[in-house]
Amino acid sequence: MSQLTSKPELDAVEFKTDAQGFLFDPRVREVLKRQGRKIEPGTEALAAVRILGKKLHAGMERWADRFGLSEGRFQILVRLHHQPSGRFTMGELAEMLDITPRTVTGLVDNLERDGLVRRVADPEDRRSVHAEITDQGRDRVNALWREAAGVQATLTHGLKESELIQLRHLCLRLIQALGVEEGKTHATR
């Protein structure tokens, strides 16, 4: 685990404000200083994104657990729920969620055990199996969705629409930049 996103940074953070009125995490700055690194906005921004990602993931896990799901199982249910046919092949789910087919199989096993998903053979390709959401699975997603909308509204309540648009834009630009870097890494292997 990175020192910039270790457990203490995730709990009870007391942010400070810089001279321009922008928040910063003094713990991140302290770690950088101890490492003899320069405090740069890019490093602090990426540390903040990592910390936020970890907190969002942990919160999503706790929230999904209340409904008897893991985040991965919830993601599969949501994908199936929003698909007009209610089904995807296991390979399609693995690709969408950027996880291995073996992981999808385990997640679908649990969802099937709970009656939320069923496996359906592909009539056109006997080697292919679809995961299909059940009525019980749809009911579970609808219940989750109602609560999720309230939680999301609470998290973004203090931000202006223009700030949310800028946040979205900046996060997507970081994702694009990461994709470019990943492409360079894969090209050199």
Taking the C-alpha atoms of residue 165 and residue 13, their distance in angstroms, rounded to an integer, is 25
Q: Which fold has domain 71-140?
A: Arc Repressor Mutant, subunit A (1.10.10)
Q: pLDDT tens digit string along 50-88?
A: 999 998 888 888 888 888 888 899 999 999 999 999 999
Taking the C-alpha atoms of residue 111 and residue 131, their distance in angstroms, rounded to an integer, is 10
Q: Residue 11 has what pLDDT?
A: 54
Q: What is the pTM of this model?
A: 0.69
CA atoms within 13 A on the CB side of 60: 15
Q: Output the six-digit token pair for 97.
A: 């969620």
The pLDDT confidence band at residue 12, using thresholds 50, 70 and 90, is: low
The pLDDT confidence band at residue 47, using thresholds 50, 70 and 90, is: very high
Q: For tokens 């602090």, what's the residue?
A: 44
Taking the C-alpha atoms of residue 126 and residue 176, their distance in angstroms, rounded to an integer, is 38
Rounded to 5°, angle at Cα 181 from 176 and 186: 120
Parse the chain into domains and list their residue ranges.
Answer: 1-66, 71-140
